[in-house]
Structure 1
Amino acid sequence: MVTPEFNNGLPSCLIGNRAREVNIGVKALQLTGNSIMPYLLFLGTPMADKFPTHAEQYNQNINSMSHMSACLARKSISGLSQHISICLLICVQALDLRANLIDEEGGYDARPLVSSKTRPVYEAIRSIINVPISKERSYIWDDGEHALDEQIACVNAALITDENGLLFKALKPTIDWLRSERYSH
Structure 2
Amino acid sequence: MLDSQLEVARQAKHYLNQIDDSEYQEIAKPYLSGSAGMHMRHIIDHYLALQRGVELGLVDYNKRNRYSNIEKSTEVAFTEWLKIEQWLTSICDSDLNAPVLVISEVSLHKTQTVQVLSSLARELVFVSSHAIHHFSLLSVMQSIKGKTSPENFGVAPATVTFQRAQA
- Return the TM-score normalized by structure 2: 0.38
- Return the TM-score normalized by structure 1: 0.35
Q: Give the structure with higher Rg (CA).
A: 1
